[in-house]
Amino acid sequence: MTNQDITTTILVDATPSQVFAAVNNPRAWWSGEFEGNMSRLNDEFTYRYKDFHYTKQRVVEMIPDKKVVWLVTESTLNFIEDKTEWNGTKIIFDIAKKGDKTELRFTHEGIHPGVECFDSCSGAWTQLIREGLYTLITTGKSKLLVLA
């Protein structure tokens, strides 16, 4: 069976350590308001963008230079009917060395074609990862993008 969760991959000229550091600094690639910490296992943080998007997340897996997983424990998405659609989903960043480059595979587990926000969330996540996070990793400069 094919995985239908939102997934996108980037290949960058950077070390796994640089990619890991960038992933753990979403304030530099995802515009909105963050509160709390996200640098250690079991840290909790919230993300809010205006009145459109609120999530509370917990770091449930963190393997330095290899993987980060955030579990969405609360959500209020005001742009869809089921405002709690992200509850229980996981935001996963897998990092692997590929030759002289590093691959970052992003997955939002639980957001698939059968849920309401799939189309809008898929496009937004792809833009965030391929533009915002990619720019931070490859240039060291923030490129804040919105995932509403």
Q: How many domains does the chain have?
A: 1
Q: Which residue has the tokens 């998007």?
A: 53
Ordered per-residue pLDDT tens for the chain, 148 residues:
457 999 999 999 999 999 999 999 999 999 899 999 999 999 999 999 988 899 999 999 999 999 999 999 999 998 899 999 999 999 999 999 999 999 999 999 999 999 999 999 999 999 999 999 999 999 998 876 555 4
Tell me how far the alpha carbon of residue 117 is from its chain's centroid.
15
CA distance 137 to 24: 11
In a domain, 12, yes or no: yes
In a domain, 147, yes or no: no
**Other residues' Cβ atoms within 10 Å of the Cβ of residue 66:** 15
Residue 34 maps to a domain: yes
Residue 124: CATH number of its domain? 3.30.530.20
